[in-house]
Structures are given as structure tokens and as C-alpha cells.
Amino acid sequence: MPAPRSAVTAAYTRLTEVFPGLVITELPPQDTPPTDGGWIAAAALAEGGPGLEAFLAWDDAQVLRDYAQKARPDVIASFGLHRYAWPACLLITVPWFLHRRVPRYPVTNVSYDRTHPGLSVGRLAVRPDSFACLPGDPAATLPGARVVADEEALRAEVRAAVAEHIEPVLAGFGPRMRRRGRALWGMATDEVVEGLWYVAHLLGEEDRAMRELELLLPGATRPYIGAASFRELTGPNGEPLHTRDRASCCMFYTLRPEDTCATCPRTCDADRVTKLLTTAG
């Protein structure tokens, strides 16, 4: 089995095939992630200064344009954090889910552009670092490979890789949000779970993803808060409907109190069933 161009190229290619709203570009090791045009370096978000201010101005303008009202500054920060963290977590969880490879991306190795026309989520540019894999993986001979003992060790690598990238970003956003510490890590937990859950549905592997995520986040894996928390509801005709209980709230209710998502802590099970049936239809 020939080794791919990088350990994660095939995973990112497959991700874009099923979810063309997100494009990931791998950079040569000597290249610096872009910061011109619509690009923002993850390191600039972590710094919490002018770069983050400019990033959040996009969310502020979008809310005013789409909802004809201003949102609280902490709500804007929550929206901005979600819109970055959701695709950023996929950089790590998708290669793990598809090929059992876990890349490491310090914030200095990632840039994000959500302004590119035609892309619902945007573009990520990443510079390879190291990655973890299992014994027997053909990619184990590639530069930067670290072989770990088994599946549980690889799950620990996923948790560590996400934390390495997202913790500085949480620190950058934190002062702009009412929620700190535990609540921010609850949000990170939700991004890990809901991002992969969504992509796995597109891949036709939702059930496997739910099992994998329950093992990844069983509920006692600090700094993450809570478990994957999947559960099953029953529709009016006895059909099973998958949902989960989020560890955090996205704050959208502050704009549209009546329009919460199907996993929102504020949404009762009866309303969840209605929303899930509408989405399925």
C-alpha cells in the first residue's frame, strides 16, 4: 500500500468530497500559513488582540445584516469561537475517524479564511507537524510519525491534539465572553462531537461515529466537560431519532428565543422530535 502525500491528505480529500463547503490546503513544511486577504492566523485569534477584533467584526456585521439587530458582545464572541472551532476540530477528528491518524497542529500552523465566496464554512491552510498512528499503519514510516500502542492510546492522542490547538484559542476568546473555564471547555467538547457527528452522517457512518465519540469522550477526560451524551428519542411512528445533550449553549436563543437547535439544553424532548422530523424531511 503506497504511502499518501501526507498522512492526512486522503482524509481531507474525502472530507471535501462529502462536505464541499470546507476546503483544507496542506502547506509545505517550510511555508508560513497565510495572513493576507481574508486569512486569519489561529495564533492571532489566540493572542486576543486586533486580529481577533477584526475576526469578530465579521460576526457582528453578519448578525446585524441577517437579524436586523445587534447582539451582545459576548454572544458575538461565542458565534465567532464556534465558527472557528467547529472546522478546526475536524482537522484532527476526521483523519482519526477515517484512517486512525492523529495530526498535531499548534496554533502557529493553521490559518482560516471564512470569506471565500462559494464556501459555506471556508478554507483552512495547515502546515504539517507530527502525527500519531497505530502499529502496522503504512504511514508509520513517514516523517513525523509516532506509533502508539492501541486504540485507547490513539484516543488519548486525539484529546491531546485538540486541547493543544484549542486551549490557546479559548484563552484568546475568553475575556470577551461571560463564560469562562469550564463553560468554554464544554463548548470545545461540543465542537469535537457535533462536527464529526455531522460529517460522519454525510459519510454514511453516523452509527460508527456515535460509538467512537462515546469512547473518545466518556465523561471523565479533562479538560473536556461532559460526555458525548448521545441518546435516542422515538418519533410518532416509532422511528428512532438520534440526539445528544450539549454541554454548552451557542447563545442563538438571544436572537431568536423560539428557534433553538435540536441538541440545545433549552429544547425539550417533544420539541426535539419535531425539529428532528423536520430536518429528516
pLDDT in tens, 153-197: 999 999 999 999 999 999 999 999 877 788 899 999 999 999 999
Contact, 156 vs 194, CB < 8 A?
Answer: no
Rounded to whole angstroms, how far apart are CA atoms 50 and 253? Answer: 28
Q: How far apart are CA 273 and CA 124, in angstroms?
A: 34
Confidence of residue 281 (pLDDT cuts 50, 70, 90): low
Q: What is the mean pLDDT of residues 59-81?
A: 96
Whole-number Å distance between alpha carbons of 41 and 28:
16
CA 29, CA 24: separation in Å to the nearest integer?
15
> What is the average pLDDT across 66-95?
96
pLDDT of residue 160: 98
Which element (helix H / strand E) includes 16? Answer: helix 9-18
> Is 2 a residue whose pLDDT tops 50?
no
pTM, rounded to two decimals: 0.95
Query: Cell 484549542 belongs to which residue?
Result: 166
